[in-house]
């Protein structure tokens, strides 16, 4: 090979190598990481998050998805503000408190980066008591032990609000435990706890487990409690047969859940997340029957924070804005 040919060959190889090196960052930039913040694995957020992870991974080019089990609403919103997640599910009252910066609710300052994707399904406040405790009403819980969810979680915020509207505080309870759903149920099955308050979709796995393991009573929360609390709380019903041994409808209150993201997520990614979410509702309902209540028609109902521009773009396309 001549000296000129050798020089040309070296130049060409160098050019190819340089092109490969310059292409590598572009490929890395094209990869989209979507971390979905959920809740405990025995709740509803987690299976819905797992279903979304598969939907996004299969349909968003270059997307790598992950599902993170958390303490749910309050932790999810704080993580979004820190950029440690791209999508979260959270209770409406928690989202409202986060936007306002309610320190008592677990938000030391307003979480101004939060942006809405759309409404999910309502969480039903469900209080299950052991039949042996004799508790069937809120007043009956006085002197009884109750788990109210992890401290400053969305569930625990609901517990405080409901007891307050009933003229009660934790001091009226015999003992207050701050435990996740599954751990609360285990204590009840071991006769170490009288009741558990769980804010979740109907048919939540933890309460199904409890009701099939021991005689259980669903404690009534009357409609006037919802009236005292006001938005985002509404009067609701746990239909008969939702849990083993539940032979009658039980009045309760509910609060809407929301899908939330943050402002640093790109418009295109937020658009795809919104579009795929509302166009894959049968897949979400298959993941958990509570998700069957998610509808496109109610996607903007009561949204307590500004929408992400990507979500707004989708809803404009669908004629909702």
Condensed to tens digits (0 to 9), the pLDDT of residues 144-163 reads 999 999 888 889 999 999 99
pLDDT at 26 exceeding the cut of 80 = no
Q: Is residue 205 part of a domain?
A: yes
- Name the DSSP class of 167: T
How many domains does the structure of the chain reveal? Answer: 2
pLDDT at 125 exceeding the cut of 60 = yes
Dihedral angle over CA of 241, 247, 248, 249, nearest 10: -20
Those residues whose C-beta lies under 8 Å from the C-beta of residue 178, and which sit 6 or more positions away, are 147, 148, 149, 150, 151, 156
Q: Read off the CATH number of the domain in which 245 is found.
A: 3.40.190.10
User: Taking Cα atoms as reference points, which of 90, 108, 86 lies closest to residue 308?
Assistant: 86
Task: List pLDDT tens digits, range 167-222.
Answer: 999 999 999 999 999 999 999 999 999 999 999 989 999 999 999 999 999 999 99
Mean pLDDT of 104-129: 96
**Are residues 251 and 130 part of one domain?**
yes
**Are residues 206 and 239 part of one domain?**
yes
pLDDT at 8 exceeding the cut of 60 = no
pLDDT at 1 exceeding the cut of 70 = no
Q: Is residue 11 part of a domain?
A: no
Those residues whose C-beta lies under 8 Å from the C-beta of residue 219, and which sit 6 or more positions away, are 127, 128, 129, 135, 136, 137, 138, 140, 141, 195, 250
Mean pLDDT of the chain: 91
**Are residues 306 and 262 part of one domain?**
yes
| Predicted local confidence at residue 204, as pLDDT | 92
Per the CB < 8 A criterion, the answer to whether 135 and 227 are in contact is no
pLDDT at 262 exceeding the cut of 70 = yes
**Are residues 158 and 231 part of one domain?**
yes
Mean pLDDT of 269-292: 97
Q: Is residue 22 part of a domain?
A: no
**Are residues 273 and 236 part of one domain?**
no
User: Taking Cα atoms as reference points, which of 28, 41, 32 lies closest to residue 65?
Assistant: 32
- State the residue range of the domain holding 44: 32-120+257-317
**Are residues 174 and 231 part of one domain?**
yes
Q: Is residue 293 part of a domain?
A: yes
| Predicted local confidence at residue 3, as pLDDT | 47
**Rounded-to-integer distance, Cα 129 and Cα 117, Å:** 36
Percent of the residues in the chain that have a pLDDT greater than 90, as a whole number: 82
State the pTM of this model.
0.79
Task: List pLDDT tens digits, range 31-85.
Answer: 889 999 999 888 899 999 999 999 999 999 999 999 999 999 999 999 999 999 9
Q: Is residue 190 part of a domain?
A: yes
Q: Is residue 17 part of a domain?
A: no
Q: Is residue 150 part of a domain?
A: yes
**Are residues 268 and 236 part of one domain?**
no
Among residues 202, 226, 255, the one where a domain terminates is 255
**Rounded-to-integer distance, Cα 298 and Cα 300, Å:** 6
Where does the pLDDT of residue 30 fall: very low under 50, low under 70, confident under 90, or very high at 90 and above?
A: low
């Amino acid at each position: 090979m001549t000296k000129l040919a050798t020089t040309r060959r070296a130049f060409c190889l160098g050019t190819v190598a340089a092109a490969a090196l310059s292409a590598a960052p572009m490929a890395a930039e094209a990869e989209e990481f979507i971390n979905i913040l959920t809740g405990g694995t025995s709740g509803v957020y987690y299976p819905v998050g797992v279903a979304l992870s598969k939907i996004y991974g299969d349909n968003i080019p270059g997307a790598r998805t992950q599902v993170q089990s958390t303490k749910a609403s309050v932790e999810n919103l704080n993580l979004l503000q820190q950029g440690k997640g791209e999508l979260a599910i959270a209770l409406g009252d928690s989202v409202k408190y986060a936007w306002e910066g309610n320190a008592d609710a677990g938000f030391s300052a307003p979480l101004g980066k939060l942006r809405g994707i759309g409404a999910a399904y309502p969480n039903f406040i469900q209080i299950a008591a052991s039949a042996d405790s004799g508790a069937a009403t809120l007043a009956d819980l006085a002197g009884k032990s109750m788990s109210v969810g992890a401290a400053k979680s969305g569930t625990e915020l609901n517990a405080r609000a409901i007891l307050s509207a009933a003229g009660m505080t934790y001091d009226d309870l015999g003992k207050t435990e701050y435990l996740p759903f599954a751990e609360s149920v285990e204590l009840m099955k071991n006769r170490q706890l009288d009741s558990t308050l769980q804010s979740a979709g109907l048919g939540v796995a933890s309460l199904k487990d409890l009701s099939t393991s021991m005689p259980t009573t669903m404690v009534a929360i009357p409609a006037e409690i919802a009236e005292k609390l006001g938005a985002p709380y509404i009067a609701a019903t746990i239909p008969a047969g939702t849990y083993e041994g539940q032979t009658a409808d039980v009045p309760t209150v509910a609060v809407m859940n929301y899908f939330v993201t943050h402002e640093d997520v790109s418009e295109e990614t937020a658009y795809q997340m919104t579009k795929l979410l509302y166009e894959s509702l049968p897949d979400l309902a298959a993941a958990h029957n509570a998700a069957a209540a998610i509808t496109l028609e109610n996607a903007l109902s009561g949204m307590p924070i500004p929408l992400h521009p990507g979500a707004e773009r989708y809803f404009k396309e669908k004629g909702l804005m």
